[in-house]
Amino acid sequence: MTSCLLGMNGSDILTIVNSLFFILGGITVFMIGMSMMGSNIEKAAGKSMRRLMGKAARNRFVGVGTGAAVTAIVNSSAATTVMIVGFVNVGLMTLTQAASVIMGANIGTTISAFIMALSSAGGAQFSIAALFALVAFTGFVINLVGKSGKLKQIGMIFEGIGLIFIGLNVMSGAVSDMLDSPNVKSAVEGMFIAIGKGKDTLTWEIIVLFALGALLTALMQSSAALTAIIISLASSGLISLQMAMCIILGANVGTCLTSLISSMGASVNAKRAAMVHLLFNVAGCFIFIFPVAFAGKYIASFLNSFIPQTQWQIAIFHMIFNLLTTAFLLPFINLLVKLACLIVHEKPAEESPEDTLDLRLLKTPAIAVGQVRKQLVRMGDEAFANYRLSMDMLLKKDLSAKEQFTERERYINSENKLIFSFLVRLSMQEISETDEKKISSFYRVVSDIERIGDYAENITEYAEKLVEDRVEFTENAVSEILEMDRHITELYKFVTNVFSQSNLYYMPDVEREEQETDRMNNVMQRSHLSRMTQGQCTAEAGALFLQLAVCMERIGDHMHNIANSVAPYGHTVKE
């Protein structure tokens, strides 16, 4: 190898540099295509993806199928596992459910190897890469002339698919160009011979190849990109199938780094989900490493007997490896979860169950939008709970719950800032037209909920005033307050149904109860004037009563606003 390196001239070195630059450029185009295709498919199929993730709760087999399907859609097991870590962190998925989905994700990622094998298909008369270059151009035209968001998404999906094949073709061409020089080819072959001591036998060098696969995948954060390079090298005859298998095993461990990084700062269960991913892949590699090391040439010979192309052999091995690993370990899924729990200890101080807007969810905007809705419903429940508490303090003249009220008000204010900040980040992601409408409405909803909490705080101040000044409401005044309170309570029930389910079926009920709060406000105003004229109440009681009536009516208005926010994207389902 040293003599080959010394024998290279300036032209050979320039060829290597140019080829390396083209390989890096090919990786870049490939990754851009993967991201463009995956993100736009996710946007176009956001609801379907949510349903798929929901089905994972049924049983472990459905979980495996869900993980495989989602990974095949987004074309990245790393992206799927990051999503899963986020779901576990916010409580959308249990650790056992996550484990089965992670196993499925490893199966789904095998589609990448088949795409790469397909890219090198064809002969001198026909090139698959050329066909998909045309697909990329077609997508560009669709995106350019398309007016609807859905059409533009389809265009970008086509662009992404085309760019994947273009990137793979650039990498393959760069390797071929580099090997056109006999000196360069001898030097590269010498390097791999030094590592593997031949193309057909692997002894201790398996560790080097395994580590190389893990390290390069961890650095690139994509096993797909490394697989593309391996296929290019193997197709050119630089590495044997046996060597390629060792590198792929290492790549399966290296890809775990992404999920481990994504779990940093997350809940204990999210860290455990990332650990399950690592344990699963390490166990799978342990199962396969010895057959590959000591019987690799027989495996290669078997594959070569029915499919001669090396790129397809690598793709098939990748698929078989993940299928068999899942089949072996699926019955022991509970043991994997228990082992992950033993390794990642429970640390209550790390848990923050209230902070469920995990930034990891920004990678899947459709899921993030659904989680924001859940958080808004929770915030609304807390604001309404404070309203109920304030009314109890006012009617009973008992301020003992004031501290509880104050603590909940702090939470509402904190949630207001958290949700608003998260919405700003979410708005900057690539989102569908429907999700854009939802996010726009959520900005107003979070403000309406915060205002309900503020008005509840005003009512608490009225209660303090009643206690301090020993003010008494008349029996009729209390009856009117209770009537208004009943309509507000009914209104909140229907508003919650509309907002949480995006179901406009309850809007007539919302309108009716909101009109009742307006009517009761007028009734309370007129009754107050009548009682004042007849000398039945004091000026202090009358002033507080009028302020209370207006305050309660404004709460009803903000609830009405929340229900109306659903109109641009809601549906009507009779229940």
Residues linked to residue 571 through DSSP beta bridges, in sequence order: 503
* pLDDT of 503 higher than 50: yes
11-47 pLDDT, tens digit each: 767 777 887 788 778 778 877 876 676 667 666 655 5
- Do residue 326 and residue 396 come from a single domain? no
Q: Give, in degrees to the nearest 5, the angle at Cα 70 between 161 and 424.
A: 85
- Do residue 336 and residue 377 come from a single domain? no
- Do residue 345 and residue 487 come from a single domain? no
* pLDDT of 392 higher than 80: yes
Which of 84 and 337 is assigned the larger pLDDT? 337
* pLDDT of 473 higher than 50: yes
Query: What per-residue confidence (pLDDT) applies to 429?
Result: 79
Among residues 319, 349, 379, which one ends one of the domains? 349
Among residues 307, 324, 349, which one ends one of the domains? 349
Question: How far apart are alpha carbons 402 and 8 in whole angstroms?
Answer: 83
Taking the CA atoms of residue 311, residue 65, residue 149 and residue 76 in that order, the dihedral angle to the nearest 10 degrees is: -40
DSSP 8-state symbol, 122: B
Could you tell me which residues come within 8 angstroms of residue 213 by beta carbon, excluding any fewer than 6 positions away? 226, 246, 247, 248, 249, 250, 251, 252, 253, 254
- Do residue 184 and residue 251 come from a single domain? yes
- Do residue 373 and residue 246 come from a single domain? no
Q: How far is residue 164 from each of residues 152, 170, 191, measured CA to CA in Å? A: 18, 10, 29
| Least confident stretch, 58-67, 371-380, 408-417, 496-505 | 58-67
CATH label of the domain that carries residue 493: 1.20.58.220
Number of domains in the chain: 2
Q: What is the mean pLDDT of residues 369-378?
A: 88
Among residues 318, 349, 380, which one ends one of the domains? 349
Taking the CA atoms of residue 352, residue 354, residue 357 and residue 361 in that order, the dihedral angle to the nearest 10 degrees is: 50
Give the up-direction half-sphere exposure of residue 540: CA atoms within 13 A in the CB hemisphere: 10
- Do residue 328 and residue 476 come from a single domain? no
Q: Is residue 573 part of a domain?
A: no
| Least confident stretch, 413-422, 427-436, 461-470 | 427-436
- Structural domain that includes position 517: 359-564
Six-digit token string for 515: 């009109």
pTM value is: 0.57
Query: What per-residue confidence (pLDDT) applies to 457?
Result: 93
